[in-house]
Structure 1
Amino acid sequence: MPILQNDPHIATGVALKRLPLRKAAVLFIAVVCLCLCGLLYLQLEQSRRHDLAVAEVASSNLTRAMAQQAEDTFMKADLVLTSLVDWIQADGYGPPQRPRLQKTFAQRVQALSQLHGILLFDQKGQWIVTSFADLPRGRGVADREYFMYHQQNVSSVAHIGPAIRSRENGEWIIPVSKRINDKNGHFQGVLLAGIKMSYFDQFFKSFSLDDNGSMFLGLTDGTLLARRPFVEAQIGSSLANGEIFQTLLPNAPSGNATFRSVVDGTVRLYGYRQLDAYPLVVSAASSRDSILKGWYDTAFRSSVIVALVVLGIGLFGWVFVRQVRLGEQVEADLRKAKEALKLIATHDSLTGLANRRLFEQALDIEFGRGIRQSSSLSLIMLDIDYFKRYNDAYGHVAGDHCLAQVARAVKSCCHRKADLAVRYGGEEFAVLLPDTDIHGAMVIAEHIRRAVMAKNISHSGSPNGFVTVSLGCYSFVPTRLDSTEVFIGRADAALYQAKHSGRNRSAVLSIDGGVEELMRSDR
């Protein structure tokens, strides 16, 4: 019924308004925290990329300087060898020429600080002339890589071989050698200029690198010639399986890349460059941890600050949401209390049926609706037969129990939501039936009478031996000239006639041409 639904709708509306507030608060707090974390991530990522980009530029400049220095170093040695080879091939290196060659070799070594020495070997690998004062003695250099290379290759181009230890004084050198031919082009020996490993070591140390940084000079086949930091066991080892030689150099002669070193396992940013004039590769690398050291510090501080802010927002949000939940709980309790009060105000506490107050409200509503829609409205008034005798015989507690059982029987016969069962007062009940004519009302009245009889409630003061009820029915189509009081009075008159006619029966009061006629049913 409309009047019964107003308050629940209002309460539901309040709940629906409150629910989005809590969700919106949680969503807002989550969005704010995510935005802070997102901004921190974007700022840190941009800063990290900037630091790496600066490091890449520095690495490229460093490898360019290294490549230029290495190319100049080897080119000077190459020019010295070229001039001396032309002289030796023209004049030979017989005993008359050797003193002059030795003096010239010594002068060239003194003029170029990177040179360890200049040595001339015959076709068997024996020392003929050197830049040193004393001619070394021993088994020669026929087993050296550079000597065997020139034996097998007629090219006059300078050859740069793997780093070796000098057999003259044990110093590490990088051999730059050229083939010497006779006038017929036959192999006559090798002229070698040894470049000091220490020269590159000093050159590498002139650059500022972190403790985990590295620099190296190698052949294009991956053979390591010189490295910073200097580790003697690594000289001559192969880097051919490294990222630079396997992946980068085949695609570009110079560039930058970050990867893990195959030598010591450290992750570094490498800049590399292949020389144009010689089969050499230089590389300079800074460890990623060193490049990003400042970034790590900034990231830690920024993360701590943002974490504290997020924690503060989270605590505030928790308190806020908790308060919202408490408010919801209070409102829910108030709604329950209101519903309980409403139930107390509109329903009978003993039987659970609607009370007289709710009956009057519902009757006013249905009366007005019947006028507007010209629909029938019926009312059944019923009373427990000989109820005073029942109380006298069994007591008021049993009487209350009897009332409750009769109420359940009445309510069980009201199947529609619009039907309203009422405890009208004392042992008297009423049933309001909207949209129901007199025949329908009579059917329901009989159902109620039989349902009470079916309870088989013992009643020694009744002629039947069990509790029965008498019912009066009245039905009409209300008009604006009618009143609820007259409507109730006619139903009550029908009940009076049913009780007067012997009880345990349903009576109908009808109006036909202004004359009231009593209809009885005693089935």
Structure 2
Amino acid sequence: MPIPHFDPFHVPGGALKRLPLLKAAVAFIAAVCLCLCGLLFLQLEQSRRYDLESARTASANLTRAMAQQAQDTFQQTDLVLTSLADWIESDGFGPALQPRLQKTFARRVQALEQLHGLFLFDKHGHWVITSFEQLHRGPGVADRDYFTFHQQNTALTTHIGPAIRSRQNGDWIIPVSRRLNDQDGNFQGVLLAGIKMSYFDRFFESFSLADQDEMVLALSDGTLLARRPFDEAKIGRSLAEEPVFQHEPYGESVGTATIRSAADGVLRLYDHQHLQAYPLVVTAAMSEQAILAGWHDRAFKSSLIVAVVVLGICLFGWVFVRQVRNSERIEADLRKAQEALELIATHDSLTGLANRRLFERALDIEFGRGARQRSPLSLIMLDIDFFKRYNDTYGHVAGDHCLAEMAKVLKGCCHRKADLAVRYGGEEFAVLLPDTNLQGALALAEQIRRSVIDQHITHAGSPTGYLTVSLGCYAFVPSSLDSIEVFLQRADAALYQAKHSGRNRVAALSMEDGFDTLARSDR
């Protein structure tokens, strides 16, 4: 059975749980790394949002600049057409007036940088007057959309049509035209101003944009008029099916959206604005890659710095954890060594029973507990009969084996955890029984005596022919006035009485009755 360990420095219930330093260190290091990564994420996310918001502001400003430029360009052209149309409708464009009109057309074109030329066509679409010195003699413009539009519409408002190539010299122009009526309101012809597409190209080029950024001037129905970067194949193409036109309600004057282009797969920030006076829309598109180029660079550098810091923390943590593990291992080894030393100091090496040092500690503790609780304390002292003869007959090795067998018997008979079996010295043993009266001590002593006999250990030097023991019992309720030495003396006196009475028996001593000898013999 287990031998109770008595520690005079142990305070029941006062032990503090050891802080799990290794787990705490790992958790702390992980928390620090997670906090660093979390702060990096929040900082990068905030920086990304700031860059995108700045790009939205820049895109809105760019769109307003484009809208203002387009508004001014077409308004100046419209004013020229309006003044010329009023003059022509009032005075006509007969042969006598044509030289003067041609010079006026030329001066107006020179005054406005955006104008490619001014053209006057009669009601059949034939060339009448141009701002160029040489009148074009080729086919007329009756097949042009703007001419057909004015033939079919009586409105005298300015019409802006899809971009076309000029039949004068082949340049790309944006046609701005007005209908001319005679005095009776009948269709008389068309007055046309061609705006250079290169004018918008130069305006677009004045802005510092990335390669994947776009600037677009289009009709409200989505027909492309001018674009940066310039792509001749896309001029006149309808953008109505483009994601930006479908995503944004282009009936609104201003709008912003981030859309992936169906043409090249580039994610762009689109901002558009409708002109108030003309059926035109301008769009500025900035690629998200260009917008976030600086952010990506900062993110890479910040992430690299944080990664180095986290790596350093992890390396430090790894070293620290190893040190903690080594310390715990050393502490565990020291604890085992301390327990081994404690076991050596408090237990007999031959029998494994408690020695006198542990026995004395136990007596101090049980005396105090018995006095506080008024509970009985019993002690059994026992001695192997004729053990010197056994050693002389069978040798000391057999004697040691006999002592070990005796220890097994005591361990087998002491069933309670509080019972303490002790090798008191030589062939003498003791059993301390807390909270046990004399009757309980006598019963256990008799059980021990019978168990020794049942071992059938041959002893030629004993009158019985086998190994026997003599036992003395003493029990009392200790008080603060009682002495441990007296307690031991009385138990030893009971053992002496058992040996004096013939051995192989149990004797008891009580304060009231004196000696009470109980003989137990197999003879």
Please, what TM-score do these two structures have when normalized by structure 1?
0.85
Cα distance between partner residues in 2 of 1:406 and 1:51:
89
Correspondences of 1:120-159 after superposition (within 5 Å): 120-122=120-122, 125-132=125-132, 133-138=134-139, 140-142=141-143, 144-159=144-159
Provide the residue aligned with 2:83 in structure 1: 83
**Is the Cα–Cα contact under 8 Å of residues 252 and 274 in structure 2 kept in the other structure?**
no
Rate the CA distance shift 1:64–1:5 in 2: closer, same or farther, 3 A: farther
Give the superposition deviation at 1:50: 4.2
Kept in 2: contact 1:474–1:509 (CA 8 A)? yes
Distance 1:285 1:5 in 2: 85
1:341, CA displacement in angstroms? Answer: 0.7
Q: Which moved more, 1:452-461 or 1:343-352?
A: 452-461
Q: Distance in 1 between matches of 2:307 and 2:91?
A: 82
Q: Which moved more, 1:429-438 or 1:367-376?
A: 367-376
1:10-409 pair list within 5 angstroms: 13=16, 16=18, 19-20=20-21, 22=22, 25-90=25-90, 101-122=101-122, 125-132=125-132, 133-138=134-139, 140-142=141-143, 144-181=144-181, 185=185, 187=187, 189-242=189-242, 244-250=244-250, 253-254=253-254, 256-392=256-392, 394-409=394-409
* Offset, 1:425: 1.8
Identity %: 66
Distance of 2:177 and 2:36 partners within structure 1? 64
**In the aligned structure 2, how far is the partner of 1:11 from the partner of 1:340?**
24
Structure 1 residues 397-406 or 454-463, which shifts more?
Answer: 454-463
- Shift of residue 197, structure 1, vs aligned partner: 0.8
Moved more, 386-395 or 187-196: 386-395
151-160 or 349-358, larger mean C-alpha shift:
151-160
Residue aligning to 1:4 = 7
Bigger Cα displacement from structure 2, 432-441 vs 409-418:
409-418
CA contact (8 A) 1:118 1:194 kept: yes
Q: Deviations over 1:216-268 (max 9, x none)?
A: 21222222211111122222333334454333455852355444344433334
**Shift in Å, 1:48:** 4.2
Matches of 1:113 and 1:126, distance apart in 2: 26
CA distance in 2, matches of 1:430, 1:453: 18
Aligned to 2:448: 448
Code of the residue aligned with 1:379 in structure 2: it is: L
The gaps in structure 2 that reach 5 residues or longer are none
What is the alpha-carbon distance in structure 1 between the residues aligned to residue 415 and residue 181 of structure 2?
125
Secondary structure (helix, strand or coil) at the match of 1:478 reads coil
In structure 1, the partner of 2:515 is 516
Q: Cα gap change, 1:502/1:158 in structure 2, threshold over 3 Å: closer, same or farther?
A: farther
User: 2:414 matched to which residue of 1?
Assistant: 414
In 2, distance between residues paired with 1:121 and 1:454?
142
Corresponding residue of 1:487: 487
Once the 2 structures are TM-superposed, how far is the Cα of residue 290 of structure 1 from its aligned partner? 3.6
Of 314-323 and 4-13, more deviation after overlay is shown by: 4-13
C-alpha distance 145-511 of structure 1, shift in aligned 2 (>3 A): same
**Hey, what's the Cα distance between the residues in 2 that align with 1:307 and 1:489?**
77
CA 1:95 to 1:396, structure 2 compared with 1: closer, same or farther past 3 Å? farther
* 8 Å CA contact 2:474, 2:490 repeated in 1: yes
Change in Cα spacing, 1:387 to 1:218, as seen in structure 2 (3 Å) is farther
Structure 1 segment 467-478 matched on structure 2, within 5 A: 467-478=467-478
What is the one-letter code of the residue matched to 1:173? I
Most deviating of 64-73 and 131-140: 131-140
Q: Which amino acid aligns with 2:135?
A: D
1:369-414 Cα shifts (integer Å, max 9, x gaps): 2233322110112233444454455543343333323322312332
- In structure 2, the partner of 1:496 is 496
SS at match of 2:429: strand
Contact 1:508-1:520 within 8 A present in 2 as well: no
- Give 1:444 shift: 2.2
Structure 1 CA distance, aligned partners of 2:437 and 2:251? 99
Structure 1 unaligned residues grouped into runs of 5+: none
Change (3 A) 1:124 1:407: farther
Q: Write the deviation string for residues 438-490 of structure 1: whole angstroms up to 9, x where unpaired.
A: 11112222333344445455556556665443332221112344322232232
Q: Distance in 2 between matches of 1:159 and 1:257?
A: 30
Cα displacement (A) at 1:359: 0.5
Aligned length: 518
The 3 A distance-change label for structure 1 pair 343 and 8 is farther
Contact kept? 1:118, 1:191, Cα under 8 Å: yes
Q: Show CA shifts across 1:306-343 (max 9, x none).
A: 43344334433433443333333332222221111111
Per the alignment, do residues 9 and 373 of structure 1 end up closer, same or farther by CA in structure 2, a change over 3 Å counting? closer
Output the amino acid matched with 1:348: D
Distance in 2 (CA, whole Å) between partners of 1:506 and 1:207 is 117
Q: Identify which range, 121-130 or 485-494, moves more after superposition.
A: 121-130
SS of residue matched to 1:433:
strand
Q: 1:12 to 1:337 in 2, by over 3 A?
A: farther
Encode CA deviations 1:77-127: one digit per residue, 9 max, x unaligned: 222223333444455556666555544444433332212233344555554
Q: Partners of 1:256 and 1:389 in 2: how far apart?
A: 113
Give the superposition deviation at 1:497.
3.5
Residue 79 to residue 483, structure 1, CA distance change in 2 (3 Å): same
Farther off after superposition, 122-131 or 208-217: 122-131
Give the distance between the partners of 1:251 and 1:405, measured in 2 at CA: 107
Kindly tell me: are residues 519 and 224 of structure 1, through their superposed partners in 2, closer, same or farther at Cα, counting changes over 3 Å? Answer: same
Give the AA of the match of 1:16: R
Q: What amino acid is the match of 1:518?
A: T
Give 2:139's aligned amino acid. Answer: G
Call closer, same or farther: CA 1:158–1:409 in 2, change over 3 Å: farther
Closer, same or farther in 2 for the Cα pair 1:150/1:440, shift >3 Å? farther
3-state SS of 2:84 partner: helix
CA distance in 2, matches of 1:119, 1:463: 153
Q: Is the 8 A contact 2:117 2:130 kept in 1?
A: yes
What residue number does 1:426 align with? 426
Pair 1:126–1:505, CA change in 2 (3 A): farther
Q: Which moved more, 1:376-385 or 1:463-472?
A: 463-472
Aligned partners of 1:453 and 1:466 also within 8 Å: yes
Change in Cα spacing, 1:138 to 1:479, as seen in structure 2 (3 Å) is same
Residue aligned with 2:7, SS:
helix
SS at match of 2:319: helix
Check conservation: 2:438, 2:475, Cα contact below 8 A: yes
Distance 1:216 1:491, change over 3 A: same
Deviates more, 1:264-273 or 1:416-425: 264-273
| Kept in 1: contact 2:6–2:358 (CA 8 A) | no
Decide whether the 8 Å contact of 2:127 with 2:135 is kept in 1: no
Aligned equivalents of 1:331 and 1:482: distance in 2? Answer: 42
Distance 2:188 2:454 in 1: 137
Give the residue type in structure 2 aligned to 1:4: D
Give, in angstroms, the shift of residue 276 of structure 1.
1.0
Structure 2 residue identity aligned to 1:134: L
Q: Which amino acid aligns with 1:69?
A: Q
